[in-house]
Structure 1
């Protein structure tokens, strides 16, 4: 008899020799056994948690015990305990689960919303619906509710993929934020695009839900006559044609800033030509615009010094930038004085004080500052 066969004792070769009816019955039997095993595992973890047995094994709870002692993934252990806890107040579903008369995948979903009054109705729904449909019904229902008859089939959908520059993405994100604020709810990108085009088709007026429905009906009439054409595109590489309010410089912008600064860190005395980055002189967060006069080339170390407050930039690039240390002193002046001082030391100057390079450099800098 097929029902007397133990599926665990059969090898793949033995299963291949069985007829279709026997394989079907064994598959259903294994699914029922899975439900029983999962429910039993959850009940055991719940008992271990409530009796405190987990402490004897150095664990902090039933879920921790399942992870450390049974090798279960954390998510799986939590799921088993949750379902076992929910089944305590659902005797009919618990009976079906113990007998393997309901699929585990469906059971773990419906216990979220089933109550003592509605568990039989949910059990009947499980017999008629697939797991995907059960998942959607549970998502639409509150605890204690019974979902009405509804068509869960989805119509054909199209996929649209787009590649955006940083400037375009900044505009899209800001526009979507404004649309959500005006609507008082979250709006997805697909719905936002539909609303914008419906507005254009409605002569610029924002379409309400009724007008949007008419636009959708009109669009359905022409779906059979859509042709795909290849459009010619051109990349604009003018550094001036950018959105100055975008946060990230474009690839073309970055290349021109690097060429302008000689592919070298612009900080006086820093010869680094590696790990170069483009920095906003006035921080973007403080209202600085992404335009050439506010962008400068820094190496990663000097860039970090700026953001850590050890280096302060003032003015406009390329020639009007002042480089200050954390005490507000111009590092150009300090560097010139340091170079003059060490040249005197290396050359062994022993003349009068006014003849040293250090004194001459300091005098020249003071004169220039005046």
Structure 2
């Protein structure tokens, strides 16, 4: 009777030793993340039994000499976790290894595991935009345009129909998507055009043309890019016309890059001055020589004038890094019998 309990006790002791040894020998399992986005936290999860010695993660950015340490904390009975702070997750990658007590259980100081760190979609888009503009966020631009619809003769009087436009602007590319760009500017638009009633024009004492437009106009514009390659520009204009302070606006939608290949449509309206709608096709097939063709329907420079059509062509040339000069030439007409021309020039400096 005494031999059996001794045998049972031996079996129990042996089983306990085996269970304890198995627990201590149980491996630490860790599946590394495939990649991580820059600026986001990195979670390292290990599966280990409760009796596992203290688990510590050693991590560093690629190229750094020393490792930072972080102890893994219990998530549940079988899982432990360490969260590398987002400030430490930067491109091109993070190197790390895990130790239990003093023994490496995943990778090693000599051969750490590397997790590639990729820039976020927004950051990649910003990088592409900065590369395209050569990291020059600011722009100063100016343009001059002359529009002549031709001269009509009634009796001995010649009725001119023309105007000029001057624009000056400063813009800054924020690239804080969807807000891409801020612009502020000045516009002057002045011209001579027919009066509303020309029945008295044969009378030399009755003027048949009058000045139209405004001398001072200031505006503010937002450039929005909800997705890459799609742009929406909205402008608010305040101007001093002959009848007092008036407001205007402009909106343009564009697919593509303004300085390269693109398609754009827009509408501009100015109180007392008129409205124009346009369609523009631009292309950048020749390096350093962006070109565009535009069709415009407008009644400027006076809201009471009949609608006319303009067709003009733009070409620009990069003459120095960040400096571009452009020319414009085209056709303008309010009817089929009389036509004139459009010409202009522009310059811009990026810095």
Which of the two has greater strand per residue?
2
* TM-score under structure 2 length normalisation: 0.22
- Using the size of structure 1 for normalisation, the TM-score is 0.22
